[in-house]
Amino acid sequence: MSNDMQTSEMSGNELEQYFADLKAPEIQDPAAVEEEILRGILAAQTPEEALRGGKLTSARDVIGVPLTIRGVRYNRSSFETREAAYAVIDAVDRRTGEVLTIGCGARKVMAQLWVFDQRGWLPAELIISESANQTANGYRVMQLEPVETAF
């Protein structure tokens, strides 16, 4: 199969294979993630930083929030989900200036982030949005959008 994506002609398995055939994002080893969390805690300058160390903000908690997304990496998931990995997003809340580390396992968002990262389009001013309607499986599709469309 070529990497020319023609989704209208592809089954679900073929789409999964298409993404698998692309250059896979680097997925961090759990031991390296743990070490990074501990380094962050040890470098804390305030009690709040020490207590927050390693905690991810859920993508659902920042839906509609204007963000400057500065970078992304991928970690292996320890949960039983259809995704083997999740995105760890380095972002800044444009309203408050707060630096956020956001976890997101939504396929569409991960694919969009991968493209933004591979094409050198980060940092980018974006929001995470969610569809108004549910899929047949009861999910709301999450996606990235330019900040302008949110307001």
Give the N- to C-terminal CA distance of the chain in Å, as an integer. Answer: 41
pLDDT digit string, tens, across residues 87-135: 889 999 999 998 888 999 898 999 899 889 989 999 999 999 999 898 8
DSSP structural state of residue 81: S
pLDDT band at residue 36 under the 50/70/90 scheme: confident
Report the predicted TM-score, pTM, of the whole model to 2 decimal places.
0.70
Which tokens is 108 given? Answer: 């569409």
148: left (phi over 0), alpha (psi -120 to 50) or beta: alpha
Backbone angles phi, psi at 52, to 5 degrees: -80, -20
Place of tokens 């995470």: 128
CA distance 2 to 11: 15
- Segment holding 132, helix H or strand E: strand 124-134
CA distance 40 to 99: 13
CA distance 107 to 113: 10
> Using omega within 30 degrees of 0 as the cis cutoff, is the peptide bond preceding 123 cis?
yes
Give residues with Cβ within 8 angstroms of 64, minimum separation 6.
Answer: 127, 128, 129, 150
Judged by DSSP in three states, 133 sits in strand
Write down the pLDDT at residue 1: 35
pLDDT digit string, tens, across residues 59-90: 999 999 999 999 998 887 665 555 567 888 99
